[in-house]
Amino acid sequence: MRLPDFEYFEPRDVAEACALLGEDPRLSAVFAGGTDVLVELKSGLARYKRLVSLRRIEPLRRIEFSERNGLVIGATATVNQVARHESVRGRYPGVVDAAMSLAADQVRNLATVGGNLCSAVPSADMAPILLAHGAKLRVASSDGERVIPLGRFFVGPRATVLEPAEVLVAIELPPPGPGEGAASLRQGGRLSLSLPVASVAALVAMDGPVCRKATLAVGAVAPTPILAPSVGEFLGGKRLSDEVLAEAGRRAGAETRPIDDVRSSKEYRLEAVMVLTRRALRKAAERVGGVVS
Ligand SMILES: Cc1cc2nc3c(=O)[nH]c(=O)nc-3n(C[C@H](O)[C@H](O)[C@H](O)COP(=O)(O)OP(=O)(O)OC[C@H]3O[C@@H](n4cnc5c(N)ncnc54)[C@H](O)[C@@H]3O)c2cc1C
């Protein structure tokens, strides 16, 4: 299969990118790493006539951390840049887990975190951990900027609240709170480079053996990546015993709507969510010295 013809633009700033997209919004798309959009064009899934690349807009590639404001991941920072960034490695290990589970080095060197979210596939590897961290998305258009909580970004498989000529500029995560640990785990398919059949991200705040607060998010088991709020409600103020973790897994499973498809049965997906929930919560707690018994 050959790539169809399209026009390719390389604007120097976000305003120019928004203006170019706005000239023909229905037939234009942002081009970040291209690992999704080129595949879509080649397979006939998308029919864009204009690709507006963000690759020459240097500020969009930056990753910055401060104790006060937390982490800002520029929309075109690649998955590997994020996984290797010192502050991310030191303070957001769950983000590193998720990044390192996405495909292989060749893809991670091109694939951007912003592109992963904007593709909005239910199994997008970066989505659950960013949901668990309460990420906010900074989005620009010719009318200015707005901020969208990631929890309100996805509206269905491959669908987001982004308007056609809007550009995701940055992903913002709050600074880690006291006793806070995170982990992200996925169950892959049997083929190398396969998307997860289920993924789980956990963020916990531990006071020694007691879980003060927990946030759990899951991927590939509903039309969009989702939060599982009943897990956090159940875990607050509890010791993370095996029984408590098992109940957390059941609650996470009850929040999902898994489907049968070529990659997995829904029963297997449900089982995977329950197991991954127990393991992710344990790993997140152990990362901050929380006692799990
Ligand atoms: C071999 C292979 C293996 C893969 N394995 C995985 C995997 O294991 N896990 C996984 O989650 N994904 C996987 N993917 C999918 C893909 O690599 C990721 O989703 C990637 O993060 C997409 O980022 P990108 O920069 O390449 O996006 P692009 O392809 O450039 O863009 C993707 C979509 O998002 C839009 N977009 C991108 N950036 C912005 C922005 N800043 N503002 C507005 N819209 C934007 C584009 O218009 C397009 O619709 C795989 C892909 C390939 C080819």
CATH number of 7-53: 3.30.43.10
Q: How far, in Å, is the centroid of ligand 1 from the Cα of 284?
A: 27
3-class DSSP string for 100-157: HHCCCHHHHCCCEHHHHHHHCCCCCCCHHHHHHCCCEEEEEECCEEEEEEHHHCEEEC
Task: Answer whether 247's CB lies under 8 Å from 223's CB.
Answer: no
The helix or strand, by DSSP H or E, that contains position 80, with its residue range, turns out to be helix 79-84
Class of domain 180-286: alpha beta
Q: How far, in Å, is the centroid of ligand 1 from the Cα of 179?
A: 33
Task: Answer whether 133's CB lies under 8 Å from 95's CB.
Answer: yes
> Any idea which fold 58-173 has?
3.30.465
Ligand 1 proximity of 25 Cβ (cutoff 6 Å): no
Residue of 118, 145, 172 to test ligand 1 pocket, by largest number of atoms within 8 Å of CB: 118
Q: Where in the chain is the domain with CATH 3.30.43.10?
A: 7-53
Q: Where in the chain is the domain with CATH 3.30.390.50?
A: 180-286
Whole-number Å distance between alpha carbons of 66 and 173: 11
Q: How far, in Å, is the centroid of ligand 1 from the Cα of 238?
A: 38
Task: Answer whether 52's CB lies under 8 Å from 165's CB.
Answer: no
- Mutual angle of helices 242-254 and 266-287, in 10-degree steps: 140
Q: Where in the chain is the domain with CATH 3.30.465.10?
A: 58-173
pLDDT value of position 292 = 67
pLDDT value of position 180 = 97
From the alpha carbon of 39, which atom of ligand 1 is closest?
A: 53
- pLDDT tens for the 293 residues of the chain, in order: 789 999 999 999 999 999 999 999 999 999 999 999 999 999 999 999 999 999 999 999 999 999 999 999 999 999 999 999 999 999 999 999 999 999 999 999 999 999 999 999 999 999 999 999 999 999 999 999 999 999 999 999 999 999 999 999 999 999 999 999 999 999 986 566 778 899 999 999 999 889 999 999 999 999 999 999 999 999 999 999 999 999 999 999 999 998 888 888 999 999 999 999 999 999 999 999 876 66
Q: Tell me the H-state helices in 138-290.
A: 229-235, 242-254, 266-287
Nearest CA to ligand 1 atom 40: 168
Exposed/middle/buried for residue 185 (C-beta within 10 Å: 0-12, 13-18, 19+): buried
Q: How far, in Å, is the centroid of ligand 1 from the Cα of 50?
A: 17
pTM of structure: 0.97
Q: How far, in Å, is the centroid of ligand 1 from the Cα of 111?
A: 6
Residue of 1, 18, 27, 35 to test ligand 1 pocket, by largest number of atoms within 8 Å of CB: 35
pLDDT value of position 173 = 98
